[in-house]
Structure 1
Amino acid sequence: NWRFIGGLNRDSPTCLTALVCNFVASPHIDFSDLEEEEHPDLFSSYDLLDEECISPDFWGEPDQVISIEPFTADSGPQHSLGDDADTLDYFRLLFPDSLFEHMVEQTNNYALYRQRRSGRSDAHWHPTDVREMRAYVGLNILMGINQLPDYGMYWASDIFIGNAGFKKTMTARRFEKLNQNLHLCDRLSEPAKGELGYDGLYKIRPLLDIVGNTMWDAYLPNRCLTIDECAIATKGRFSPTQYMPSKPLRKGLKVWMLCDSRSGYCHRTRLYVGKPGDDMASASLGHRVVTSLVRGLESRHHHLFMDSFFTSVPLLQRLLQDGLYACGPTNPYRRGYPDALRPRSVGKLAPGEFYQCQRGNLVATVTRDAKVVSCLSSNSAPGINMRGVDLCDQLRECYQVGRPCKKWWRYFLWFYVNLCIVNAHIVLRESRGGVPPAGFSGKEFTQRHFRVRLAQQLIGDYQENFSDLH
C-alpha cells in the first residue's frame, strides 16, 4: 500500500512537508497536569485514534483526492481604539490596568508578610502604588534597550554610565526594594504541595489567567499558525529548567507557543513545570499540548505547522475531525506511521526521492533532502513554513525585560511582559497600517521606538518622593 514517486513536485501534498524537514524532535518530557484543566474525553479520544491507525488496512495508495476547506474566518486586530491611541493604549489591551493594581496589592501584602516573618520592620519600605509600579516596569523595559552589566550602574555617579532619567524617577534603593517585594500572589493562601488545590504555577496564576485572555481576544488568528517551543534564559538552577538540544538556547524554562505565521503574534502559551518522562509518553503529550493550544479554533480551517515532537497520526486525525489542517515532520517509529515507510522498508533513498501512503486527507511521506525525513500532512498548501514562533522569538529576544534573579517565576513574569510588548506592537502596526502614533516624527516606528515610547508613557511624570525614605 505504498507508491514510489520519482521526485518532488510543488503541487504535490508533500511539498509542504519538505519545507519543514530540518526540524528535529524535542526531548521527551512529561507535561505538567497543573497548567491545564483536564478534559475527560481527551485521552479516551487519543486512545481510540491510536488503535485505529495501527489497523493493517488503515493506509492506502496516494491516489485519493485531498479536500481543503477555504479559510473564511475573521482575522487580525480586534479593538475599538481610535486614531489618537498611543503605545500605552495598545499595551493596555494586553497588559490591563487591573494587572498593575493586582501587582500593587500583592507586592504590598508580601512586604508586610516578609516583615512579620522576620520579626522586624523595614525602615526603607513604604507601600507602593499603581503610578510607581508602572514606572518600575517602564524602567525595566528601558534596561532591555540600554543594557548594563548590573542594575546599580544606572544610578552610578559617573556621567558616562549613570542614567539621569533613572535617578530622577526613583532611587536605586527604592528600585531594589520593589525588586525584593514584587509579587503576584497571596503567600498566606498558597496551598502546599500535596494539599487540595495545589498549583505549581500559583505564584503567576493571576498573570497567566489575565494575559492568557487578553492575548487571545486582542488578535484573531490568521490562516496559518505554528506550534513550537521556546526557552527563557535563566541564571541559576531551577527545577522547571529544561535541556533542549534542538534550540539555540539549549537550557532554560520551557514554553509552548501558538503563533501567527504571518505576523509573529503569539495567541496562546502553555508552560512546562513538570518532570522528565519516558519516551512512550511523548506522543500523547504532544496530542495534549496541541489540542489545548488550539481550543476555540475548531471548524475554522486553520493550517497548523509543527515540529516532530507533536506530529502524530492520531493528532492529525483529531485535528481533521475538529476542522483543522496540520503538517510537520514526525518520528517514523511512532505508532500509526506506515510500516512500509519506515527506514528498514524503504532502504536508501536518492536525493529528491520519496514514498507516500494516504488515508483521505492524511498523507505520510518519507523523503530525502539533506537527510531522510518522515512527514505527515493533512493539507497541500505550498510555501508555508514554521516561521511564526521563530519570528515571535526574534522580536522578543531583541530587547529583554527584567534582570536575572533567584526566583524562577520572575522569569515568567518578565517573559509575559515582553510578550505583551511584542503583541501590542504588532496590533498597533497592523491597526494603523504602519503609520506611527501622533507626535512621532520618525519615518519608521520600529519595535525599539515602540518600547522607548511605551516606557516613557509608563513612567510619565512620576518622581519618587525622596523625603519618604529619610
Structure 2
Amino acid sequence: MGINQLPEYGMYWASDIFIGNAGFKKTMTARRFEKLNQNLHLCDRESEPSKGELGYDGLYKIRPLLDMVGSTMWDAYLPNRCLTIDECAIAPKGRFSPTQYMPSKPLRKGLKVWMLCDSRSGYCHRTRIYVGKPSDDLAAAALSHKVVTSLVRGLEGRHHHIFMDSFFTSVPLLQHLLHQGLYACGPTNPCRRGYPEALKPRNVGKLAPGEFYQCQHGNLVATITKDAKIVSCVSSNSAPGIVGIGPGKLDGDASDGDCGLVGLGIPRPLPLLLYQENMRGVDLCDQLRECYQVGRPCKKWWRYFVWFYVNLCIVNAYVVQRESRGGSPPAGFNGKQFTQRHFRIRLAQQLIGDYQGARGMERAARKRHADSPLEYGHRLERMSERSRRCRNCTNKGLRHESVFGCKICNVHLCRGGCFSEFHK
C-alpha cells in the first residue's frame, strides 16, 4: 500500500479496473483484511493499568513493539562517527493528549518522536516518544538532558560526534557527554546556564557578516557569529580560531559593481561548518520514510505509531541493504540504480511469496467471457430507495421501474434480462 497509495482501504478491492488491484484480490479478500485490521493488538488489554495506578505506562498499548524494534534497530547497524539527534512529527487524526504544536516544522501539529540517526546514511538507531510534560518542575527542566542521555546509552567511550539542535544543546550537557567520552556540537540559547557572559549579544554588540568571537574553557568552545542572523554555538569537537569558508557573499551585490566580493563566501567558524554538514541524519531518514507511507488515517493514536515503526523498519532495512552492498544493485536486478521503490516491491513480493487465498484461487480458475460486462466492473446493484424507469425497457417502448441498475453506466435496469441485454 505504500507503493500503490489509495485514499481508502476498500478501493484496493474495487470492481473498477482503473482502481482495483488484482494482486490484492488474489492474495486475500477485503473482508479478511478488514477483520485482521480490526483485531490488531500488541498487548493484553485486560491487564492494562489505568491512569494513576502503580505501573501505569502511557505507551502500554505499543510497549512490546517498542522493546522489540528498539533492540533490533540498535544491533543491526554499527554507528558511524557522526550522529544526529533531532525530532520528527507524526500527524494523527484521533485525540491524544501529548500532541504537540511545533511552528518550526512543516507538520506544525502532531506526535513528537526524538530520533538518533546516522548523519551519513540516515539509519535510525534509536527513538524516544514524547508522552507529555513531566509533573515535576525539576524533571521538566532536565527533559532535554534525559532525552539525549537515553538516546546515546551504549556509546560511552567510543568518541562519537553528536550533533543536535538548540533544544538540547547546553554547557552542562556537553560537559556530561565529554565526561562519557562523547563529543557534541550544536546551536544554543545564550541565556542558558554556563554560557560565557562575554559572548552574550548585549556584551558583543553589533556584528558584521562573517565576524565572530570565541571563548574556550577546557575542551568546550563557545562561538557567536553573524550569518543571516546572530548564531550562538557550543561545541566540544573543534578547536577555536579555525575558520572555514561557507557559501554566501560578504557585502554588496552584483548590481553594485562589487563583483570581486560576490561568490567569495562568508568566513565561518569550524563548529558551524561541522554542524551544517552533519545535522542531516534525521532529515535523510524522514525523506526516505515520507516517500512511501504505509497505513491510513484512523481514530486510534497507537496505530499511527505502529505504521510509523513499520515504515521506519523498512527504511532501515533498505539502508542496511544499500550500505552492505556498497551501492551496487542486488543479483537479478537489471536497472541502473536500485532505489527504495525497487526494494519495497521486492520486500512485498518476498513477504507474500506463493501464498494465495482460497477465494483468490477460485477466481483465478474461473473462466469469464472476454466481452462479459462483469469483467469491466459492471454489476447489478441497488441504485436508490426510489424506483426509476428501466432504460432498457424505455428503449423498447415499454414502461417498467426498478430500484436496481448499473452504477458504472448510471442507469436503472430491471432484475431480469435487461442488465445483460442493455450491456450487449
Alpha-carbon distance in 2 for matches of 1:174, 1:156: 15
Kindly provide the CA deviation profile for residues 118-143 of structure 1, in whole angstroms up to 9, marking residues without a partner as x. Answer: xxxxxxxxxxxxxxxxxxxxxxxxx1
Name 2:51's counterpart in structure 1.
193
Unaligned runs of 5+ residues in structure 2 are: 239-269, 361-424
Separation (CA, whole Å) in 2 of partners of 1:279 and 1:245: 24
- Of 310, 314, 319 in structure 2, the residue corresponding to residue 421 of structure 1 is 314
The answer to whether residue 298 in structure 2 is matched with residue 440 in structure 1 is no
Tell me, yes or no, if structure 1 residue 378 matches structure 2 residue 236: yes
Shift of residue 402, structure 1, vs aligned partner: 0.9
Q: Which residue does the alignment assign to 1:390? A: 283
Q: Contact between 1:436 and 1:444, CA under 8 Å: does it hold in 2?
A: yes
The superposition leaves residues 417-458 of structure 1 with CA deviations (integer Å, 9 ceiling, x where unpaired) of 111111111111111222333322222211110011101111
Whether 1:456 aligns to 2:349 is yes
Alignment partner of 2:83 out of 225, 233, 238 = 225
* Map of 2:366 onto structure 1: none
TM normalised by structure 1 equals: 0.67
- Among 293, 309, 313, which residue is 1:400 paired with? 293
* Range with bigger deviation, 283-292 or 446-455: 283-292
Equivalent position of 1:327 in the other structure:
185
Contact persistence 2:86–2:164 (CA under 8 A): yes
Residues 283, 310 of structure 1: 8 Å contact kept = no
**CA distance, structure 1, for counterparts of residue 102 and residue 135 of structure 2:** 14
Q: Is the 8 Å Cα contact of residues 26 and 359 (structure 2) preserved in structure 1?
A: no
How far apart are 1:244 and its partner, in Å? Answer: 1.0
**Could you list the per-position Cα deviations for residues 55-95 of structure 1 after superposition, in whole angstroms to 9, with x for gaps in the alignment?**
xxxxxxxxxxxxxxxxxxxxxxxxxxxxxxxxxxxxxxxxx
Q: Tell me the distance in 1 between the aligned counterparts of 2:142 and 2:334.
A: 53
Q: Which has the higher helix share?
A: 1
1:294/1:201 CA distance change after superposition, 3 Å = same
The code of the aligned residue for 2:96 comes to F
Tell me the CA shift for residue 262 of structure 1.
0.7
Quote the offset at 1:280 in angstroms. 7.7
Residue 97 (structure 1) aligns with: none
The answer (yes or no) to whether the contact 1:283–1:312 under 8 Å persists in 2 is no
Alpha-carbon distance between aligned partners in 1 of 2:213 and 2:137, rounded to the nearest angstrom: 27
Report 1 or 2 for greater relative contact order, CA contacts < 8 Å, sequence distance ≥ 6: 1
Letter matched to residue 403 of structure 1: R
What is the match of residue 165 of structure 1?
23
Asked if 1:148 corresponds to 2:38, the answer is: no
Percentage of matched positions with identical amino acids: 87
Q: Which residue of 2 aligns with 1:359?
A: 217
- The 1:287–1:258 alpha-carbon spacing in structure 2 relative to 1, beyond 3 Å, is same
CA distance in 2, matches of 1:433, 1:378: 32
Letter in 2 for 1:376: V
Alpha-carbon spacing, 1:237–1:188, altered in 2? closer, same or farther (3 Å): closer
The amino acid of 2:197's aligned partner reads D
Deviations 1:189-215 (A, max 9, x none): 111112221111111111110110000
1: CA distance, partners of 2:327 / 2:223: 41
RMSD of aligned alpha carbons: 1.8
Amino acid in the other structure paired with 1:300: R
Q: TM-score, normalised by structure 2?
A: 0.74
Mark the CA change 1:279 to 1:341 in structure 2 (over 3 Å): closer, same or farther: farther
Q: Tell me which amino acid in the other structure corresponds to 1:331.
A: N
Give the 5 Å matches for 1:169-248.
Answer: 169-248=27-106
Q: What residue is the counterpart of 1:258 in the other structure?
A: 116
2:390 is matched with which residue?
none
Query: What is the distance in 2 between the residues matched to 1:420 and 1:292?
Result: 20
Shift in alpha-carbon separation, 1:344–1:283, aligned structure 2, 3 A: farther
Structure 1 residues 281 and 331: alpha-carbon distance in aligned structure 2, compared to 1, 3 A threshold? farther
**Distance in 2 separating the partners of 1:278 and 1:161:** 53
- Larger-gyration structure (1/2): 2
Looking at structure 1, the residues matched to 38 and 9 of structure 2 have their Cα atoms a distance apart, in angstroms, of 14
Distance in 1 of aligned mates of 2:23 and 2:135 = 49
1:285 aligns with 2:178: no
How far residue 342 of structure 1 moved from its aligned partner, in angstroms, is: 1.4
Separation (CA, whole Å) in 2 of partners of 1:255 and 1:171: 35
* Matches of 1:325 and 1:352, distance apart in 2: 25
Deviation at 1:378, TM superposition (A): 0.5
- Give the conservation status (yes or no) of the 8 Å contact 1:283–1:309: no
Task: Tell me how far apart the structure 2 counterparts of residues 359 and 278 of structure 1 sit (CA, whole Å).
Answer: 32
Gaps of 5+ in 1: 1-142
SS at match of 2:278: coil
Q: Deviations over 1:225-270 (max 9, x none)?
A: 0000001122233212111111111111110000000110000000
- Match in the other structure for 1:348: 206
Q: Distance in 2 between matches of 1:248 and 1:279?
A: 29
**Letter paired with 2:78:** L
Which residue number in structure 2 is paired with residue 93 of structure 1? none
2:86 is paired with a residue of what secondary structure?
strand
Q: Is the 8 A contact 2:83 2:278 kept in 1?
A: no
Contact 2:133 2:140 in 1 (8 A): no
**Residues in 2 aligned to 1:243 and 1:283: alpha-carbon distance in whole angstroms:** 19
Q: Secondary structure at the match of 1:178?
A: helix
**What's the CA shift string for 1:94-125, capped at 9, x where partnerless?**
xxxxxxxxxxxxxxxxxxxxxxxxxxxxxxxx
Contact 1:259 1:268 in 2 (8 A): yes
> What amino acid sits opposite 2:180 in the alignment?
D
Q: Counterpart of 2:191 in 1: which secondary structure?
A: coil
Quote how far apart the aligned CAs of 1:155 are: 0.7
Whichever residue aligns with residue 290 of structure 2, its letter is E
Report what 2:364 is aligned to.
Answer: none
SS in 2 for 1:176: helix
Pick from 158, 164, 174 the counterpart of residue 306 of structure 1: 164
Give the partner amino acid of 1:358: Q
245-254 or 278-287, which moves further after superposition?
A: 278-287
Deviates more, 1:234-243 or 1:153-162: 234-243
